[in-house]
A and B are shown apart, each in its own frame.
Chain A
Amino acid sequence: MRKLLLLALLCAGCASTAPPKSLSPVGAAAFQKTRAIKVLDLLRDTAIDANAQQPPLISTATTRKVVQAHQLSLQAIQASDSGWAAAVGVTLAKLSHDPSLLPEEVQRLSPYFELAAQVLKGLQ
């Protein structure tokens, strides 16, 4: 799984999926926002599933922070048509550097943070 994520990261820098040409600017914006939501969902769902393992791989406190950051990010996406990608990037960066996260938790979530960061970078 780590190799798969590493491959995705390597590809992320040079790959970009432009919205279908049939879309208007409004449709294109919705397309890009959906891409962001999907990659953020991957981060959130992984944290939730990791927390559900026995024993938990990520604490409930950390998972709560991930879910709250995810919620905040989606609210930012919903609220604005411009600048949301940068705002979400800041939210994720702040979370990934939260001192209350254990090193092993950061290590487990870092591929997902990186993937989200790369996708958001391509959307700005």
Chain B
Amino acid sequence: MAVSPLVLLAIQETPAIIATIKDLFAKQNPDAPQPTDAEVIAAYQQALQSSLDKDAAWLSQHPE
């Protein structure tokens, strides 16, 4: 039985959506080790660069 592309997309994206929403709304646990400035800044720089790299890669693979 053929599965609708929309359903396939929903199945594909649901884990990422759930993970993102959980991360966005996660409450801070006061007993958990608190991140340092260095850790947070490093995470930000990594997220930024890898995301920009993905943009550049997709755009180079799909020229106008």
Contact surface of A with B, Cβ cutoff 8 Å: 1, 4-5, 8, 11, 15, 17-24, 26-27, 30-31, 33-35, 37-42, 44-46, 48-50, 53-57, 60, 63-64, 67-68, 70-71, 74-75, 77-78, 108, 119
Contacts and interface: CB of A to CB of B under 8 A. Distances in A.
Contacts of B23: 38
A90 B18 CA distance: 26
Interface residues of B, number: 39
Contacts of B16: 42, 45
A63 B44 contact: no
B62 A60 contact: yes
Chain B contact surface mostly: helix
Nearest to B7: A1
B52 A23 contact: no
Interface of B: 5-6, 8-10, 12-14, 16-18, 20-21, 23-28, 34-37, 40-41, 43-45, 47-48, 51-52, 54-56, 58-59, 62, 64
